């Protein structure tokens, strides 16, 4: 029996590399397209995977990468609100033009399924603290706009060319292979602070809540979307639970066995106070269920982060 063959754009990145590992464990053939601007070749070490060093903004590269592919997992992106504000041209060229190149490659190569890594940034300022797929989409950053535009492009192409497009709207994702980035998630920032015995900075009073989902669960959600979705659709992807930033900082310090000081500064104007994904739809339609607790996930991540710091500083 022929094994399914996947193309994972951004497959050397944090989330992409975790998906690649899962697909290989499921006995899929995997091809990775990554320009290594943020992805790391170390993330694919010892994995039986075909690697193409290329940029999704170059159509011919993307078209060639799509040859013989059954499913595209489109994860390559320019990520982050502030990064998009600092460089909106880069953000849109990668997130929108890159996505169009992927879709055109699918059309030419007759690929019938794409799973797209979208973002809760498409919602913009939140009207409700518990977010369903029907929450108003008022993206308020170039990043949110480009991710929403890419979603809409996928929905349009799926209607025109008859393929299945599944958009997964990520909330706060963390886990192994997530390296520190000043533009990045709060968990690797806190991990670096703790590892380096630096002060943790918390914006506001720290009682704001966030929905954190481990990357292993994200990889599984992508796999389910590629095998269970029978039609084009969009899904929120989070844990369906929340933790305060104060609780997060305290938990990470206790797990690490290190104590650092905490500095509170004024809340940033664009920061939301409370945010939780409603995951009823993805649970019902795809059979998704979070399996990694925040406690266990942070233990694993801090262990990975300590080893990464030792070997890559």
Q: Which pair of structure tokens corresponds to residue 276?
A: 């939780």
* Active-site choice (143, 170, 174, 308): 143
157 is catalytic: no
Using the Cα atoms of residue 9, residue 13, residue 16 and residue 17 in order, give the sign of their dihedral: positive
Q: Which one, of 31, 69, 66, 65, lies nearest residue 48 by Cα? A: 31
Radius of gyration of the chain (CA): 19
> What is the end-to-end Cα distance of the chain in Å, rounded?
45
The catalytic residues are 143
């Amino acid at each position: 029996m022929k094994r399914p063959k996947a193309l994972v754009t951004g497959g050397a990145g944090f989330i992409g590399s975790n998906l690649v590992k899962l697909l290989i464990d499921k006995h899929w053939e995997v091809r990775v397209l990554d320009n290594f601007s943020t992805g790391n070749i170390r993330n694919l070490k010892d994995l039986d995977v075909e690697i193409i060093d290329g940029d999704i903004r170059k159509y011919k590269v993307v078209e060639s990468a799509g040859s013989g592919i059954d499913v595209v997992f489109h994860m390559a992106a320019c990520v982050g609100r502030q990064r998009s504000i600092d460089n909106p041209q880069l953000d849109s060229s990668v997130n929108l033009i890159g996505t169009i190149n992927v879709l055109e490659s699918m059309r030419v190569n007759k690929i019938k399924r794409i799973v797209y890594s979208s973002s809760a940034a498409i919602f913009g300022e939140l009207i409700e603290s518990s977010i369903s797929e029907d929450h108003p989409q008022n993206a308020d950053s170039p990043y949110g706009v480009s991710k929403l535009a890419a979603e809409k492009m996928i929905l349009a192409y799926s209607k025109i060319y008859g393929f299945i497009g599944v958009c997964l709207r990520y909330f706060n994702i963390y886990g192994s292979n997530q390296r520190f980035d000043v533009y990045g998630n709060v968990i690797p920032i806190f991990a670096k602070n703790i590892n380096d015995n630096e002060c943790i900075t918390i914006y506001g009073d720290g009682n704001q809540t966030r929905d954190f989902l481990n990357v292993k669960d994200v990889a599984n959600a992508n796999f389910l979307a590629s095998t269970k979705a029978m039609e084009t659709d969009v899904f929120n992807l989070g844990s369906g639970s929340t933790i305060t930033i104060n609780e997060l900082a305290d938990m990470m310090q206790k797990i690490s066995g290190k104590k650092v000081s905490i500095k509170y500064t004024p809340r940033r104007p664009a920061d939301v106070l409370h945010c939780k994904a409603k995951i009823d739809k993805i649970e019902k339609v795809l059979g998704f269920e979070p399996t990694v607790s925040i406690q266990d996930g942070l233990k694993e991540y801090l262990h990975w982060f300590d080893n990464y710091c030792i070997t890559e500083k």
